[in-house]
């Protein structure tokens, strides 16, 4: 179980690194925005990232 979690952790790290440039862009976009637009962008970015990482196996 721990090994599975460790492997999944390694996977999400690798996947996150693959998304580095995209995340950089989204973070910058978030920092550029203000008010509710910033909040929504930030929230959407995090939710999407979480969904993306949780569905690695599914997408494979």
Partner 1 sequence: MLKVFFAIFLLIPLPVMAYHTETQTPYGITNTLNNDGSITVSWQESDGYEDNPPEYYIVYIGLTETADDKSVQTKFGFTEALSWQSYTFTAEYLYNELSVDNQKIYAKVKAFHNTNGTTSDYTPVQSVLYNYVFIPTTTTSSTTTTTLPKAEDVVEDGITTYLAWDKNGCEHPGNPLSYKEYLTAVESKEWFGYQNGDCKEPIVVPETTTTTTTTTTTIPPTEEELNFLETGIYETNKERADREEAERLEAEKEAEIKSNLENSDIDIPEEKVEEFVEIVKEVEEFVETLDVVEEVIDIPEVIIIEVEEEIIEEVIINETEVLPEVDKEILVEPVQEIIEEKPVEEYTEEDIEIVQEVVDNAISNVEELTEEQVEVVADVLQVSTEDVEIIAEAVKTDEVVAEAVEIFVEKSVQNADVENYTLADVVTEIQFENFIQNPIEVLINFDTIDLTTIGNDMTQDQKEKAQEVVVPVILTRIASMAAFIFRRS
In the complex, what is the shortest distance from the CB of residue 4 to partner 1, in angstroms, rounded to a whole number? 26
Characterise 25 by phi-psi region: left (phi > 0), alpha (psi -120 to 50), beta (else).
alpha
Does 55 engage in binding with partner 1 (CB under 8 A)?
no
In the complex, what is the shortest distance from the CB of residue 47 to partner 1, in angstroms, rounded to a whole number? 11
Q: Which residues from 13-42 bind partner 1, rule CB under 8 A?
A: 21-22, 25-42
Which residues are at the interface with partner 1 (CB under 8 A)?
21-22, 25-43, 45-46
């Amino acid at each position: 179980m721990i090994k599975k979690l460790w492997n999944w952790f390694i996977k999400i790290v690798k996947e996150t690194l693959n998304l580095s440039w995209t995340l950089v862009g989204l973070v910058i976009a978030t920092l550029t925005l203000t008010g509710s637009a910033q909040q929504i962008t930030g929230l959407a970015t995090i939710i999407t990232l979480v969904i993306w990482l949780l569905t690695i196996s599914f997408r494979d």
